Structure 1
């Protein structure tokens, strides 16, 4: 089976394959925000991408969260916990690769099902 790419503006950001939805690295647009603000803005974009693929946050299987500094993890985790109820939490990895780009504090990739 071939991959199905969603149309612009999410082209190549979201790929569907065999009932799974893969969302590539997503970050906020406003890098002047603190970690809570950047996390909220990133989550809003992720919701749009999941919806475009016919999925939603209740169908998340795995998330990889990249932080520019691991000291930001508590602020990100507070917003993440507000977004996803405890009974729907996906498996998650939080890593610190270092520089995510000028002013970018968080980037997220997801795997969900339809």
Structure 2
């Protein structure tokens, strides 16, 4: 039976959960009140750091779920996303609109990746 390793854990959640060779990250949000582009960059920076801590990187992302507070921000978020994803390593992805935890959060990214 594979061990489950939880990192950066609080009572509510773990930022990183590793099971076997799969890494699950908690939803990442950016600087509240910033633009969608800046919040997206913040999320991606956090994802880079968490994946590195878990022994992986963005070339190993299997799936990303993106929640936007308003789909009108789809193009602005995608401009940042497209510049960040390494060519040839685009993960399976879904993007939808959802009411996020706070009104000043505009984007949240949830990532599943393989260990390197």
Q: Do they superpose with TM above 0.5?
A: yes
Task: Give TM-score, length-normalised by structure 2.
Answer: 0.89
Q: Distance in 1 between matches of 2:29 and 2:78?
A: 16
* Cα deviation, residue 106, structure 1: 0.4
2:95 is matched with 94
Which deviates more from structure 2 when the two are superposed, residues 90-99 or residues 52-61? 90-99
Q: Structure 1: which 4+ aligned runs deviate by more than 4 Å?
A: none
Task: Give TM-score, length-normalised by structure 1.
Answer: 0.91
Q: Distance in 2 between matches of 1:40 and 1:66?
A: 14
Q: Does 1:25 align with 2:22?
A: no
Kept in 2, the 8 Å contact 1:100–1:106? The answer is: no
Deviations 1:38-78 (A, max 9, x none): 10011101111101100100000000001000111100011
> Which structure 2 segments of 5+ residues have no match?
none
> Which structure 1 segments of 5+ residues have no match?
none
Q: Let me know the Cα RMSD of the aligned residues.
A: 1.6
